[in-house]
Structure 1
Amino acid sequence: MEANYGQVKGWQCQPLLKFLNLKHLFTGKASDLNLAKHQPTIFPEKSVDKNREILCKNFDLNYENLVVLPIAHTDNVLVLENEKNENQKPGHWDAVITQLTNVPILITAADCVPILLYSPEKKVLGLVHAGWKGTAAQIVEKAVIAMQENYMVRPSQIIAAIGPAIGQKHYEVSQDVADLLVQATESEKILNTSGTKPKADLKLANYLQLDKAGVMKIYVSDMDTALHTSVLYSHRIQGKRAGRQGLIACML
């Protein structure tokens, strides 16, 4: 469902709104709110920190505690045990799980799939960034496993929300990538092979991986970054003119 927080506009998963100790938002491009320091881009890097501060202020979250995941298209899952990340080895992660409260977490994307994982019973939060590389490496399944191993969360206790991402119509991939995605999902359903190049459905791929992992409540946004460029950034469509929207979430 659409959500409006002052300068910040986006979407929320309605079934998650009943949990008053969880705040979440899939942001859009309203007010040119680019949230990532990426290249190449037309957006000045110095504006990113200000935009993140605006996001937190409008969403009533503590900007000083904000943790931003350094996206690197990996299958690495960070177990966040303190807001300063002091006990973690340097590196890059595309997923994070935590039981921390009052620590907002932000992941960014411009076509890749942002995924929120939440266990209300165990009070465990997870955020996942799944591009084709992460999807091929089954990163969302690995995040579910990490929640099991670190916090004793059963997959059936997890609610998953798959946010705005590129749709199949505009997501042509090479045959090699298509083969990797089919192997990772064990399903040909994620591909449309009617054209000269296969087209992949990343949202469906991650849905199937969540289902395989045992997650029973999975909600999928119908917002397509490539089709809805008036409200969302799309790297495939806009190139360097594409900023990065985000998924921000925080337990209270």
Structure 2
Amino acid sequence: MKLIEWNCFNEIEAYTTCREDHGRIMNMSFNGIDDQQVLENRQRLAKTLHSDLSQMVATLQQHTTRFIEVHHSDGGRGMWSRDDALIGYDAMYTRDRHLWLWTFHADCCPVLLYCRDQKIVAAIHSGWKGTVGEIVKKVTQHLIENEGCQPQHIYAYIGPSIEQRHFEAKDDIIDLVKKMSFDTSRFYIQKEDGAYLLDSKGLIQQQLLELHVPQSHITVSPYCTIENEDLFFSYRRDKSPHRHITLISLK
């Protein structure tokens, strides 16, 4: 199976799935269209990772800024059905080893964290609503203030998502961007037609920098989900209902 790896440290594993595997559409999200194939795709992924769906956990994402700590007892939730997924959370973190945390995305931005001092991993879904709501900052700040993580030991991966040159936003979104907790003026460019091009990856990276996570510890994926049609689904490009996942686990 084709996977894009975040090659960080030997004590973690982290990947993004791609849209096809030997001609098979690798949708990973139940959407009522091809749910049996989705389940088979998930089982294929688990086998590739020498794991099992009972050691994986997913939320039912709703573009919130809510997050939750998960444990081995949550393993399997959201794997065989959406019915038992953790509802309304767009981020998870854990200290438990061999538990895979999933985040679904197409053009939205997946973000992974590894707090090396406390051996904590996190998976975050940051669409534009999560980005302007500063979900990455909220999760990271919680880990620093409540879980003992030191910023100098935090590593982050900002995964494949829409690049600024394709992310057109109107005033309704930009007005929210302007209200974020730091100066955001350099992260959007106004076009001649009045719309803006928004740098969502940059906004996410700045949330981490504001908390003193070292720049050198932040990996930003060069992949654009709009441009790399051979690798990624994209709602903005073709209204695709399919999703891939970015996932992380402590070994």
Bin the TM-score by the shorter chain. Answer: 0.7 to 0.9
Say whether the 8 Å CA contact 2:31–2:241 is kept in structure 1: no
Distance 1:83 1:179, change over 3 A: same
Deviation of the 1:29 alpha carbon: 0.7
Deviation of the 1:242 alpha carbon: 4.6
Counterpart position of 2:170: 174
Say whether the 8 Å CA contact 2:59–2:87 is kept in structure 1: no
Counterpart position of 1:67: 57
Deviation of the 1:90 alpha carbon: 6.1
Counterpart position of 2:186: 189
Identical aligned residues as a percent: 25
Query: Mapping of 1:50-129 within 5 angstroms?
Result: 50-84=40-74, 91-129=87-125
Counterpart position of 1:5: none
Say whether the 8 Å CA contact 1:77–1:146 is kept in structure 2: no
Aligned residue type for 1:51: N
- Consecutive unaligned residues of structure 1, counting only runs of 5 or more, are 1-7
Give me the TM-score of the superposition, normalised by structure 2.
0.88
Give me the TM-score of the superposition, normalised by structure 1.
0.88
Say whether the 8 Å CA contact 1:114–1:162 is kept in structure 2: yes
Say whether the 8 Å CA contact 2:90–2:124 is kept in structure 1: yes
Say whether the 8 Å CA contact 1:97–1:147 is kept in structure 2: no
Question: Following the alignment from structure 2 to structure 1, what is the Cα–Cα distance between the partners of residues 98 and 109?
Answer: 24
Question: Following the alignment from structure 2 to structure 1, what is the Cα–Cα distance between the partners of residues 245 and 190?
Answer: 30
Counterpart position of 1:212: 210
Question: Following the alignment from structure 1 to structure 2, what is the Cα–Cα distance between the partners of residues 181 and 13?
Answer: 28
Give secondary structure in 1 for the equivalent of 2:60: coil
Question: Following the alignment from structure 2 to structure 1, what is the Cα–Cα distance between the partners of residues 162 and 227?
Answer: 8
Give secondary structure in 2 for the equivalent of 1:183: coil
Q: Which runs of 4+ in 1 moved over 6 A?
A: none
From 196, 199, 205, the counterpart of 1:198: 196
Aligned residue type for 2:189: N
CA deviations on 1:131-176 (whole Å, 9 max, x unpaired) are: 0000011000011022123421122210001110001122111212
Counterpart position of 1:139: 135
Give secondary structure in 1 for the equivalent of 2:208: helix
Say whether the 8 Å CA contact 1:182–1:190 is kept in structure 2: no
Say whether the 8 Å CA contact 1:132–1:181 is kept in structure 2: no
Q: Which moved more, 1:221-230 or 1:25-34?
A: 25-34
CA deviations on 1:35-90 (whole Å, 9 max, x unpaired) are: 11237xxx41222222111111112222222101221100001111343279xx96
Give secondary structure in 2 for the equivalent of 1:83: helix
Q: Is structure 2 residue 34 aligned with structure 1 residue 37?
A: no
Question: Following the alignment from structure 2 to structure 1, what is the Cα–Cα distance between the partners of residues 125 and 157?
Answer: 12
The count of residues paired between Structure 1 and Structure 2 equals 236
Aligned CA-pair RMSD? 1.9
Counterpart position of 1:157: 153
Question: Following the alignment from structure 1 to structure 2, what is the Cα–Cα distance between the partners of residues 178 and 107?
Answer: 25
